[in-house]
């Protein structure tokens, strides 16, 4: 939704934009120019109302074009929906780069304004010291293999009480339950026993920040135009600063330790690092929560598939100890439950609204045909791609839980540009394996142990918050009340989990 303050802010920008509009005249060599119903301001309104989904919406209106241009006051967005052009973007990774967006995130999302800090974080090609890129590269090894499994062990320990307590509250808000479980497990697995997000006030402040990013990201008088989000960001940054000052990173995960080490070695102040860390949680929570919710929704809404998945997990991923404790083996979930993994990816395909983004750092002729001008942005929305027959075949419009199962032959779903939920190579979400572990373990345990029915008895889709600027998985706007009851098959059964270290990666499809 767009509030009065945002309208005033857009109006002020429009007044200035009117005088600069001639500077954005369309070069005939650029992709076809797409206008909006509201002159000058239309696409800005669309972004605030529909979030990143606006790009996909515009592309769907013009399926005859593999790439289109949208004017956004002082910049342009080039929206690509062709797998061939996406591969061309990959071939031009030097001039169509993700790295400048790291600085944008530090400034506009995390709120870092110190010129020295921004220069330290700025990419080297733009004259900076490149710390943002160094942090990203240093994180990757900590989110696979042994370090990932150490995080998984902590995550499982923290999420298990939520599953145990599900049976004690027969009626509850399923989406809120997913939020609470994810926030508790993800943050403490990352930050350790001194986790600043243990404080419910800090959790609430972070959600104020996350849900208000649509206005905050403009970075135009944010204390006025996005006051609630701005205050939430400050409160969380102060809590993280205290965590840093009291030695919290030394007791956290290897991921936290590496980020701390890189930032301190790179010359970033502890105050600016605390601000940077506020945005870090987006990667672990903003998409995991709705993905977890939609997985549960889509499975319980398909009783036949639900029965198949329960049987697959029971036969392949449960270890029964001498004392009759039933343990779910995460490694077996990854390696011996192909239907569960395929179903998970199909839910991501049909639910995701991702839009991998690049900044044009130098004028680039894409595929020897389309001129992309420096300073503008490339967006590649997954929404139009998720239904394109040339990418997914004759079943592109339907839900196929076996789409991603290995049939021994190359399938259309493995084509580059076909699956964009985790990004587009070479920039792929480094936390995808941790998020997948968290979601699939929780889902496996819940569907084995509980029957869940919505209050009212019908699995009717709740309305989504389409304005989110960071969540690609369709967070919902309203409560979703359900009734849960333990399954009789496992009455009195004691449950546990098992993780084999060093086997932390899922065979996930990527773009």
Instruction: Transcribe 130-146 into DSSP letters.
Output: -HHHHHHHHHGGGGSHH
Distance CA(472)–CA(385), nearest Å, equals 14
Is-contact 190 309, C-beta < 8 A? no
Nearest to 112 by CA among 274, 240, 245, 231: 274
For the four alpha carbons of 405, 408, 413 and 415, in that order, the dihedral sign comes to: positive
The separation between CA 30 and the C-alpha centre of its own chain, rounded to angstroms, equals 30
No. of helices (H) and no. of strands (E), the chain: 22, 15
User: Helix, strand or coil for residue 373?
Assistant: coil
Contact present, 209 and 229 (Cβ < 8 Å): yes
Phi, psi of 39 (to 5 degrees): -55, 140
- Torsion angle of alpha carbons 313, 317, 322, 326, nearest 10°? -50
C-alpha 346/C-alpha 355 separation (Å) is: 17
Please name which of 460, 448, 386, 498 lies closest in space to residue 149, comparing C-alpha atoms: 498
CB 424 within 8 Å of CB 101: no
- Going by the annotation, the residues of the binding site for heme are 429
Instruction: DSSP letter for 250, please.
Output: G
Whole-angstrom distance, CA of residue 45 vs CA of residue 79: 17
Q: Left, alpha or beta for 326 (phi > 0: left; psi -120 to 50: alpha)? A: beta
What is the four-CA torsion angle of 409, 504, 428, 182, rounded to 10 degrees? Answer: 120
Dihedral class, residue 182 (left if φ above 0, else alpha if ψ from -120 to 50, else beta): alpha
In the block, tokens 């919505």 appear at 454
Residue list, annotated binding site: 429
H or E element at residue 215: helix 213-216
Integer angstrom CA distances of residue 186 from 143, 322, 381:
13, 32, 27
């Amino acid at each position: 939704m767009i509030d009065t303050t945002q309208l005033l802010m857009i109006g002020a920008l429009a007044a200035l934009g009117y005088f600069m509009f001639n500077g954005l005249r369309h070069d005939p060599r650029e992709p076809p120019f797409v206008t909006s119903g509201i002159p000058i301001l239309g696409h800005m309104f669309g972004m605030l109302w529909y979030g990143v989904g606006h790009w996909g919406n515009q592309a769907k209106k013009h399926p005859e074009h593999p790439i289109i241009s949208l004017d956004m006051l002082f910049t342009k967005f080039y929206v690509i929906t062709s797998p061939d052009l996406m591969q061309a973007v990959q071939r031009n990774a030097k001039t169509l780069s993700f790295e400048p967006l790291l600085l944008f995130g530090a400034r506009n999302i995390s709120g870092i304004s110190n010129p020295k800090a921004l220069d330290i974080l700025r990419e080297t090609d733009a004259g900076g010291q490149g710390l943002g890129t160094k942090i990203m590269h240093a994180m990757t090894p900590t989110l696979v293999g042994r370090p990932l499994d150490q995080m998984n062990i902590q995550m499982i320990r923290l999420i298990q009480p939520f599953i145990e307590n599900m049976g004690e509250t027969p009626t509850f808000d399923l989406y809120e339950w997913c939020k609470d479980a994810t926030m508790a497990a993800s943050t403490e697995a990352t930050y350790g026993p001194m986790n600043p997000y243990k404080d419910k006030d800090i959790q609430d402040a972070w959600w104020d920040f996350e849900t208000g990013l649509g206005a905050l990201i403009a970075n135009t008088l944010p204390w006025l135009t996005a006051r609630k989000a701005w205050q939430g960001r400050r409160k969380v940054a102060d809590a993280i600063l205290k965590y840093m000052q009291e030695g919290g990173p030394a007791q956290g995960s290897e991921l936290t330790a590496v980020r701390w080490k890189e930032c301190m070695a790179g010359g970033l102040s502890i105050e600016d690092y605390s601000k940077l860390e506020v945005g870090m949680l987006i990667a672990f929570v903003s998409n995991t929560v709705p993905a977890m919710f939609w997985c549960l929704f889509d499975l319980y809404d398909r009783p036949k598939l639900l029965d198949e998945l329960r049987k697959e997990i029971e036969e392949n991923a449960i270890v029964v100890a001498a004392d009759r404790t039933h343990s779910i083996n995460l490694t077996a979930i990854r390696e011996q439950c192909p239907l569960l993994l395929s179903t998970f990816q199909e839910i991501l395909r049909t639910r995701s609204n991702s839009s991998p983004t690049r900044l044009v750092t130098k004028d680039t002729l894409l595929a020897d045909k389309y001129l992309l001008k420096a300073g503008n942005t490339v967006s590649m929305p997954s929404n139009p791609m998720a239904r394109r027959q040339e990418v997914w075949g004759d079943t592109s419009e339907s839900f196929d839980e076996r789409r991603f199962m290995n049939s021994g032959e190359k399938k259309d779903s493995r084509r580059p540009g076909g699956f964009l939920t985790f990004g587009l190579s070479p920039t792929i979400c480094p936390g995808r394996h941790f998020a997948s572990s968290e979601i699939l373990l929780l889902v496996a345990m819940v569907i084995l142990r509980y029957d869940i029915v919505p209050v009212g008895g019908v699995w009717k889709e709740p309305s989504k918050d389409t304005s989110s600027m960071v969540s690609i998985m369709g967070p919902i706007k309203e409560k979703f009340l359900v009734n849960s009851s333990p399954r009789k098959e496992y009455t009195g059964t004691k449950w546990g989990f098992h993780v084999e270290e060093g086997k932390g990666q899922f065979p996930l499809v990527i773009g």
